[in-house]
Amino acid sequence: MDMEERERKKSGKVDSRAAHTASLPAGTVAKAPTYIPGLDDILEGGLPRGRTTVVHGGPGTGKTLLGLEFIYRGALAGEPGIFVGFEEPLDHLRSNAATLGWDLAVLERDRRLSLVEGRLKPDTVISGGFSLKGLLAAISGISRQLGARRIAIDALNVVLRFHETPKEVRNELHLLNDWLLSAGLTTIMTVRPSVGGSIPTFEDFFDSMSDCVLYLDVRVENQLSRRRLRVVKYRGSGFGSNEYPYVVTGTGLRIEPVSLVGLQHKALGAKMTTGLDRLDAILDGGFRRGSCILLAGLPGTGKTMFASTFVNAACGRGEKVLYVGYEESEAAVIGNMQGVG
């Protein structure tokens, strides 16, 4: 039994990595809603409150947007948050958010949200003097002032790659993990996949220290770009284990949990005549009210006449009909149908 397994048993946590679809009862873990449309349905209520979630994804997948939206929507819901960015300048974040209708400056003035720039200065990189201790001390002060409940740490691995040895990387991650546990903040950390080289990869360590792991990816199929989200781990909670499409809308992310949509359509109504007695006999009384009928055929087989007959029968019952034609004009349809009575 490895150390991580012993810790899980000792703490009572359940690792759902081995389950295709986790089946633990709802409510096992306290949840923090993301308020991102569709995502909370997949996560059965939200991210693990007071714990860490890691989001993996390459460039253009929306990692930064997901982390920022988690903080933004949480602030609107009364949970102050901190966004720490190691890649984009803060002015760029604010202007990008404004295109989605998010006024981050107002929330900053109201002390409901704080943006922290963690990008390294060139002289720091050259001297190799980077450490998270100073940054965490500053964030601790901001957290106390805001009464923060959430934090998003974007692209931390960008700066961790400046460390020369795997031991230095592990020490920094242990330091961060200990601080997050003591702070009790609901955390999102975004990670860009490694591209190889002499610098050691450490995505596995990110995953092991987190309670929830999400993967975002963009793929091109048949010359069409598609985004997908997948939950691969959620300790102590059930979750949707499929791949789910997501889009970036004019107001933020929207995930489409298509496999979780319940079938709640109304039952079809009573039979209604088609206007043709023999066709009604074949259909055992006609079409069901509320149904959708596809009538397909080659040119000249009478598709328009069938449709017009159905419309005429409905009008004969005193019902109103909307007829939409994409091929013939209104005058042509009326004239042709009058020609056959």
Active site residue 164: no
- Is the C-alpha dihedral spanning 22, 48, 53, 8 positive or negative? negative
From the CB of residue 268, how many other CB atoms can be counted at a distance below 10 Å?
Answer: 12
Q: Which of 166, 232, 236 is nearest to 194 (CA)?
A: 166
Whole-number Å distance between alpha carbons of 288 and 265: 14
Per the annotation, the verdict on 44 as an active-site residue is no
* Residue 158: how many other CB atoms lie within 10 Å: 16
Length of the chain: 341
Cα distances from 95 to residues 42, 63, 64, 130, 318, in angstroms, run: 30, 17, 14, 28, 57
**What's the CA angle centered on 5, arms 183 and 18, to 5 degrees?**
100
Task: Give dist(CA 2, CA 4) in Å, integer.
Answer: 6
Is the distance from CB of 64 to CB of 190 less than 8 angstroms?
yes
Q: What residue type is 100 in one-letter code?
A: L
The one catalytic residue in 7, 327, 328, 330 is 327
Amino acid at 84: V
Catalytic residue among 87, 108, 243, 319: 87
Catalytic residues: 87, 327
